[in-house]
Amino acid sequence: MTDLRHVTYCGLYCGLCLNGCRIPRRAAELRDLLGKVHIEEWGPNLPGYEGFRGFLDELARFEPRASCREQSCGVETCAIRTCAKEKKVDACPFCADYPCERIRTLAKRYVMLIGDGERMCAVGLDAWIREQEVRKARGFAYVDVRYDTTP
């Protein structure tokens, strides 16, 4: 059975969220870089060092636990999630009305959304998830191609 935990109803992949793929990696890189300059020798003399160091360590270990499907990520009253559940589709790309106006609106910000949805249907969920994991391993994040449409 396909593990849908990281597949949002709208057709995004949670592993490609900036919080899940890039921030932990960058935090680990910064921690390692600071180790190369022997921060342990001079860092404790700086105000806030201990708190910063602990925060950096936590960020480096961070793995998102939130899930759109568990309603612990995203807007609590997400109309897309509600609609997909009502229509009993695993993800919106499998809906006969795809892409609907809600998806088109979201795609103004996530420009790859509709193309990725079409790919999901073409190759199937399991293969699509594997492809997203490859993207994640390469360091891709939606923020790389996302447009901020807020005024």
Number of structural domains the chain divides into = 2
Within this chain, do residues 89 and 132 fall inside the same structural domain, yes or no? Answer: yes
Residue 125 counted as domain residue:
yes
The length of the chain in residues reads 151
Within this chain, do residues 107 and 126 fall inside the same structural domain, yes or no? Answer: yes
Tens digit of pLDDT for each residue in 63-115? 766 677 777 677 778 899 999 999 999 999 999 999 999 999 999 999 999 99
Kindly tell me the sign of the dihedral angle through the C-alpha atoms of 15, 17, 18, 23.
negative
Residue 5 counted as domain residue:
yes
What pLDDT sits at residue 96?
A: 97
Within this chain, do residues 6 and 23 fall inside the same structural domain, yes or no? Answer: no
Tens digit of pLDDT for each residue in 29-42? 999 999 999 999 99
What pLDDT sits at residue 68?
A: 78
Within this chain, do residues 140 and 80 fall inside the same structural domain, yes or no? Answer: yes
Within this chain, do residues 80 and 130 fall inside the same structural domain, yes or no? Answer: yes
Within this chain, do residues 6 and 30 fall inside the same structural domain, yes or no? Answer: no
- Confidence check: pLDDT of 10 > 80: yes
Residue 71 counted as domain residue:
no
Within this chain, do residues 55 and 125 fall inside the same structural domain, yes or no? Answer: no
Within this chain, do residues 49 and 92 fall inside the same structural domain, yes or no? Answer: no
What pLDDT sits at residue 21?
A: 66
The contacts of residue 128 (CB under 8 Å, 6+ apart) are 116, 119, 120
- Confidence check: pLDDT of 120 > 70: yes
**% the chain with pLDDT above 70:** 90
Range of the domain at 101: 1-16+76-146
Q: Which of 3, 9, 18 is nearest to 102 (CA)?
A: 9
- Confidence check: pLDDT of 151 > 60: no
Amino acid present at 87: K
Start-to-end CA span in the chain (Å): 42
Residue 136 counted as domain residue:
yes
Residue 131 counted as domain residue:
yes
Within this chain, do residues 58 and 90 fall inside the same structural domain, yes or no? Answer: no
Amino acid present at 68: C
Under 8 Å between Cβ of 22 and 59: no
Residue 68 counted as domain residue:
no
Residue 50 counted as domain residue:
yes
The contacts of residue 149 (CB under 8 Å, 6+ apart) are 108, 109
Averaged confidence pLDDT in the chain: 88
